[in-house]
Structure 1
């Protein structure tokens, strides 16, 4: 399928750039992705939100968070109001890694969008958002239909 094959090319290039950061800081791709996710989405700072938004498995997120804690890159804090609500925060030690990740993300965006006008970039974002919204809708419908049986 054309779209899927092209998607894999883009993903492979992103993983090449982010892989350099992972190698430099001895991180797995999942650990790197979680650090960058927390930096770019501070409002989604629980394990459940990481799983939901990133479409990751609970076990992978849990294992990676434990490793990040052991490396003193993140900290989990229990809410005083709700003992079951545990938020995850980046620690100062993660700052250098996140900065390298931001640079990799900027390089990725600059390279893959090279030659596109601002109008074309906006159009790509809009079309991609529609594709993702359609996929989300069908995933939701599928889950609803399989839960009914």
Structure 2
């Protein structure tokens, strides 16, 4: 499928750039992704929210929790348990993660500059709008599929 093949090309290029950061700081791709997600989405700072927002599968929950423990052991994140709800644990980035996040932001900027090279501002906005529509359609299809699966 054309869209899927092209999507994989874009993803491969992003992983190449982010892989350089991973190599420099001794991180796996998932550890890097968690750090960058927490930086870019501080309002979604629990393991469950990370998995939900990133559309990870349930099997990734345990893997993510293991990665969080490794990030915690490296002094990059801290888990803070809610006093009201012992099951609610927020994950916060620590100062030690700052250099990694900065390198990640630079990789993300480089990625965006390179893949959007030659596009006008209007074309960039058009791409964002079209991509949002495609994602919204996919979300709706997933929701309908789940609802129909639950009825069976």
For structure 1, list consecutive stretches of 5 or more residues without a partner in the other structure: none
For structure 2, list consecutive stretches of 5 or more residues without a partner in the other structure: none
Q: Which runs of 4+ in 1 moved over 6 A?
A: none
Q: Is 1:88 the equivalent of 2:94?
A: no
Could you say what the CA RMSD is over the residues aligned between the two structures, in angstroms? 0.8
- Within 2, Cα distance between the matches of 1:7 and 1:59? 27
Q: Is 1:43 the equivalent of 2:46?
A: no
1:73-120 CA distance string (max 9 Å, x none): 100001122221110000111000000000000000000000000000
- Within 1, Cα distance between the matches of 2:110 and 2:142? 32
- Within 1, Cα distance between the matches of 2:26 and 2:53? 25
- TM-score when scaled to structure 1? 0.97
1:40-98 CA distance string (max 9 Å, x none): 00000000000000012212211211111111110000112222111000011100000
Q: Is 1:4 the equivalent of 2:11?
A: no
- TM-score when scaled to structure 2? 0.95
The match for 1:24 is: 24
**1:1-149 equivalences in 2 (<5 Å):** 1-56=1-56, 57-149=60-152
- Within 2, Cα distance between the matches of 1:59 and 1:79? 20
- Within 2, Cα distance between the matches of 1:54 and 1:61? 11
Q: Aligned to 2:118, what secondary structure does the other structure show?
A: coil
Q: Aligned to 1:110, what secondary structure does the other structure show?
A: helix
- Within 2, Cα distance between the matches of 1:120 and 1:134? 21
